[in-house]
Amino acid sequence: MDLIGNSFTGSYHYTIDAKGRVNIPAKMRKALNPVNDRTFVATRGSDPCIILYPVEVWRQIEEKLINLSKRRALHRYYTRNFVRHAEALQYDQQGRVALPAGLIRYAGIEKDAEIVGMIDHIEIWEPGRLEECDRQYEDRQDELDSISDEIFA
Amino acid sequence: MDLIGNSFTGSYHYTIDAKGRVNIPAKMRKALNPVNDRTFVATRGSDPCIILYPVEVWRQIEEKLINLSKRRALHRYYTRNFVRHAEALQYDQQGRVALPAGLIRYAGIEKDAEIVGMIDHIEIWEPGRLEECDRQYEDRQDELDSISDEIFA
DNA sequence: ACGTTTGTGGGTAAAAGTGGGTAGATTTCC
DNA sequence: GGAAATCTACCCACTTTTACCCACAAACGT
């Protein structure tokens, strides 16, 4: 066993099959607490990718959303847009999930997908967009360094 | 098991048939606690859409309404307007409910309907109005971000 | 090298979504 | 008051989608 606690790490390249299914990397399946019953909640990321939360993590988000004011239209809109694109996905005996068509479109995924661990959740990217993201931030090394300073102070 | 606890999530597009019936998405039917006996309470939303509460959730609302002052006209008016448009709907063996004509008119629904999960209740929108809603809030990203900050603090 | 795990493809039975028929109840109208 | 019209719950039929299963090849670990 060489997984880091119960956190999601690493990056894996997979292909989407004709039925819209992607494999969940075996290491991530092992890292998912059994209480989640093999299921993740998929939704839109703040970045243009799909996010997979273990249900236990999603629960915490839901609790905060439900405590938002129901009186304020903006708060209702916020909740709606968050929940609207969320769907529970249970992976099959082969370890695959069927990604909703809407989320595949949002992430711009065609055939290939890069699955990236983000400690408490997982991201699924169209490979080109991930590279684009790298290019976008490469000239902001100073700011990145100062984040490093905060962390390793 | 492929539902998120007992919460309503995701967004589904359906058509209203000639008899004024809409399908309740299978995942939402499964998420509805059996104590509700396949029935929701439909009413007007604060937004221009139809809201479906599980009866157990509606009961909690009723209890709060009943404790409002019966002496004050404004309170009576508030209760009246809340309850006036509420109607219990039980879905049939195919999983469909017949929406009251008044609520369909209120939501501006013609042929298509977008059913949106809101964790503890369901919203039914005319698709165009949902988009309109998106457009209305897109230039208030700062405020939405500050809600995010509150939640993910 | 060989058994085991992992990733990928595809077939099939069940479930979901959609349309429409019909009988019993309710309402309307004369 | 009673017949005609309407409404509504329930049923059946059909199509599409999804979930579940089996199979196999490549990669991995020992």
Q: Is the pLDDT of residue B3 over 70?
A: no
**Higher-pLDDT residue of B50, B37:** B50
**Predicted local confidence at residue B27, as pLDDT:** 93
At B83, phi and psi to the nearest 5? Answer: -85, -30
What is the rounded average pLDDT of the residues B64-69?
85
Q: How far is CA B91 from CA B25, B29, B57, B121, in A?
A: 11, 9, 17, 16
**Chain A residues in contact with B133 (beta carbon < 8 A):** 77
| A60 touches B: beta carbon within 8 Å | no
User: Does the C-beta of B46 come within 7 A of strand D?
Assistant: no
Query: Average pLDDT of A100-107?
Result: 93
Residue A93 CA to nucleotide D20 C1', Å?
9
Kindly report which listed range (A102-116, B2-16, B117-131) carries the lowest average pLDDT score.
B2-16
Poorest-pLDDT segment among A7-11, A34-38, A81-85, B52-56: A34-38
As a whole number, mean pLDDT of residues A114-139 equals 93
How long, in residues, is chain A?
Answer: 153
Whole-number pLDDT of residue A129? 94
Q: How far is the CA of B91 from the C1' of D25 (A)?
A: 48
Q: What ipTM did this prediction achieve?
A: 0.87
Which residues 61-90 of A have a C-beta within 8 angstroms of B? 61-62, 64-66, 68, 70-71, 73-81, 83-90
Contact indicator for A123, A49 with CB cutoff of 8 Å = yes
According to the model, what pLDDT value does residue B93 have?
Answer: 87
For the record, the structure tokens of A116 come out as 């990236």
Helix H segments across chain B?
Answer: 26-31, 55-66, 73-83, 101-107, 127-137, 141-151
B9: closest CA of chain A, how far (Å): 6
Which residue would you say has higher pLDDT here, A83 or A35? A83
Whether residue A87 has pLDDT greater than 90: yes
Interface size A-B, in CB pairs within 8 Å, comes to 75
- pLDDT tens digit sequence for A7-59: 999 999 999 998 999 999 999 999 998 888 899 999 999 999 999 999 999 99
Which domains are seen in chain B, by residue range? 11-151 (3.40.1550.20)
pLDDT in tens, B70-88: 788 998 988 888 888 899 9
Task: List chain A residues with CB under 8 Å of B11.
Answer: 84-85, 102
CA-CA distance, A77 to A115, in Å (whole number)?
Answer: 29
